[in-house]
Structure 1
């Protein structure tokens, strides 16, 4: 069974990913036709409530890189593999608020989320346990995200398929 199949069969994790993670496994077509500059294949795997799309890149299974494209023309490679993406969402569901990839941004966002949802960390831990994942610290998750964005990310340029314009980077590390 693939990680995606295991994930879909784990309601506690799917629920947490949906909220607060804003990572819905109901894939759909992105707001516009897009392609990778490299010509590699894109497979829509999830969406967010604001119209963004998570893509698996290239050939293979759940181990493929995960690229996120928002509905406003921004994109970034987020993880190497769906399992790593889920760990990021579990550790830092507010990753979009961390455009500079700093612990300070994460701490501010965490404070806001925890004030509104005091059971958030317990729910996260239950979701992680249900799928058998260890949750990295926010610092570890952001360090890995920075590594992916800065290292591999440059090789994953998303283009509007009609106009040929490149999507803008969503992080400023």
Structure 2
């Protein structure tokens, strides 16, 4: 594999950004042990670069056309393509409640994802009134684009839709991770309030 992405070095060397990514966005480069033993179904290795709060892991894939795609695998046995490179993945990670957006996708329907994203943004702003400022700080420090939520949903949907066949995550024992799209279109208890 080629060397790590320069963005990882920048995160490592910028403690306040490292801390914000960990605390507000669930991207902790100190949790690289998450996802040990996972690989792509093709047998290609995955390089763990970060973990999240719940035991999920972010991985760099082998280089393709000058880029290293990023996949995510959660502790529930779901995983797939997040973006074509780390910058694109980080734009999604900081700009969108992406895991919940995938969970409430109606099986991968982009319109359902757009509706879910609008509700999730409202919840996120209520729970963390500083989220817009934190997003802007991380984006500026890492030279990332701050894109509208609707655009990020389209990018996330497009990437996750390309999970099969090239980005299917498997264990060393050959167990295959489920696709990233959840079947529900809203929370089962109470819906979107």
Please state which band the TM-score falls in when normalised by the shorter chain. 0.7 to 0.9
The structure richer in strand per residue is: 1
Corresponding residue for residue 127 of structure 2: 116
Q: Which runs of 4+ in 1 moved over 4 A?
A: none
One of 126, 150, 159 as aligned partner of 2:137 = 126
Q: Is structure 2 residue 170 aligned with structure 1 residue 170?
A: no
1:33-62 deviation digits (Å, cap 9, x = unpaired): 2221112121000000100111111148x9
- CA–CA distance in 2 between the matches of 1:34 and 1:127? 29
TM-score by length of 2: 0.79
The aligned runs of 1:87-166 (5 Å cut-off) are 87-92=91-96, 94-99=97-102, 100=105, 101=110, 102-151=113-162, 153-162=164-173, 164-166=174-176
Shift in Å, 1:108: 1.1
Q: Contact 2:81–2:167 at 8 Å: present in 1 too?
A: yes
Distance 1:131-1:28 versus aligned 2 partners, 3 A rule: closer
1:93-149: CA deviation from partner (whole Å, max 9, x where unpaired)? x11111215121111111111112212101211221122222111111111111111
| TM-score normalised to structure 1 length | 0.88
Aligned length: 170
Structure 2, gaps ≥5 residues long: 184-193
Alignment of 1:11-160 (within 5 A): 11-30=15-34, 33-59=37-63, 63-92=67-96, 94-99=97-102, 100=105, 101=110, 102-151=113-162, 153-160=164-171
- Whether the 8 Å contact between 1:10 and 1:131 is mirrored in structure 2 is no
Q: CA RMSD in A?
A: 2.2
Contact 1:13/1:128, CA 8 A, preserved across alignment: no
Distance 1:25 1:97, change over 3 A: same
